[in-house]
Amino acid sequence: MGRTTLHDSVDEAVAGIEDGSTVLVGGFGLAGMPFDLIDALIRQGATDLTVVANNAGNGEVGLAALLKAGRVRRILCSFPRQVDSYVFDDLYRSGRIELEVVPQGNLAERMRAAGAGIGAFFSPTAAGTALAEGKETRVIDGREHVLEHPIRGDYALIAAHRADRRGNLVYRKTARNFGPVMATAATTTIAQVTEVVDTGTLDPEAVVTPSIYVDRVVAVEPQHHTVQGAR
C-alpha cells in the first residue's frame, strides 16, 4: 500500500512486525536469503511467528538463527531436512515447532495465487499422495487434481540485487527464487538490496518486481554464504 519507502537501517525497515505474524522469508537454501533483515527481526523481538520459506534454515545463519532464537511457532516449507538443518531438526524432534510440508511448486503457486487474487486452484501435484489427504479433489480432463488455497503473508522479507528509489527490483542469478512471488503475496514487503540506484537507472524492460509490490527498501552490504556439505 502506498509508495515504497527507503530506510537507512534494517532495524528501521523491520519496525512494527507484530507477534503472531505470518512472515514469508525468501531464499533457496542460502541463495537469496535476506540475512540482514532476519538479523534485524531477531533484534526487534517479534515472536510466535509463522514462517513460510522453502527450507527450514541452514547452519546457524539467517532463518536458522531466527529458529534458534525461538521466535517461530510454525513453519511451512518444502524441504526442511538438509545436511546442515540441525537447528530445525532439534526443534522439530523435541516438538517445539510445527511443520507443514508443501510441495515446492504448490508452495510457490499458493503464494502467487494470494498475490494474484485467486481464491484457490486445482493442481495435479501431490494427487494420490499423503500430502493431499483431507483436501478436495477433482478429476479434470481425466487427471486427478487437488484444491490448493493461497498462502498470504503479513510480511515478506526478501533479498534483491538492486532497487531504484521508486522501489522497482532486479535480482541476481538463482538468488531471485521466491523473491518476486513473495513480494506479491504479503501485505507489507520489505526488501534488502545491495544498492539503491536513482529512479530511471534500471532498464524498465528488465525490472522483475515492479515497485507496486514493494513497501520498504534498505541497502546493505551483501553477505555471501553457501551451504556446507551440499551435494
Partner 1 sequence: MPPTSAAERLRTADLAKVIAADIPVGSYVNLGIGQPTTIADHLTDEQDVVLHTENGMLGMGPAAAPDQVDADLTNAGKVPVTELPGAAYFHHADSFAMMRGGHLDVCVLGAYQVAATGDLANWHTGRPEDIPAVGGAMDLAIGARSVWVMMTLFGRDGSPKLVPACSYPLTGVACVSRVYTDHGVFEVGDPSGEVGVLATYGMSFADLQERLDVVLVDRT
Residues of the shown chain interacting with partner 1 in the complex, contacts defined by CB under 8 A:
28-32, 54, 58, 78-82, 89, 92-93, 99, 101-109, 111-112, 123-131, 144, 171-181, 208, 224-227, 230-231
**Which is closer to partner 1, CB of 166 or CB of 176?**
176
**Which is closer to partner 1, CB of 5 or CB of 104?**
104
The least CB distance from residue 87 to partner 1, in Å, is 12
Nearest 5°: phi and psi at 55?
A: -120, 180
Residue 212 DSSP symbol = G
Cell of 96: 517445539
Q: Is 52 helix (H, G, I), strand (E, B) or coil?
A: strand
**Which residues face 199 on adjacent strands?**
none
The least CB distance from residue 145 to partner 1, in Å, is 10
The least CB distance from residue 92 to partner 1, in Å, is 6
Do 209 and 6 form a contact (C-beta atoms < 8 A)? no
**Which is closer to partner 1, CB of 54 or CB of 188?**
54
Do 16 and 39 form a contact (C-beta atoms < 8 A)? no
Cα separation, 113 vs 120, whole angstroms: 7
The least CB distance from residue 19 to partner 1, in Å, is 27
The least CB distance from residue 86 to partner 1, in Å, is 11
Residue 97 DSSP symbol = S
**Which is closer to partner 1, CB of 11 or CB of 89?**
89
Do 57 and 85 form a contact (C-beta atoms < 8 A)? yes
The least CB distance from residue 211 to partner 1, in Å, is 17
**Which is closer to partner 1, CB of 145 or CB of 166?**
145
Cα separation, 169 vs 179, whole angstroms: 10
**Which is closer to partner 1, CB of 99 or CB of 196?**
99
The least CB distance from residue 83 to partner 1, in Å, is 9
Q: What are the residues whose beta carbons fall under 8 Å from the beta carbon of 95, sequence distance 6 or more?
A: none
| Distance, CA of 154 to chain centre | 11
Cα separation, 153 vs 175, whole angstroms: 20
Cell of 181: 512471488
**Which is closer to partner 1, CB of 71 or CB of 145?**
145
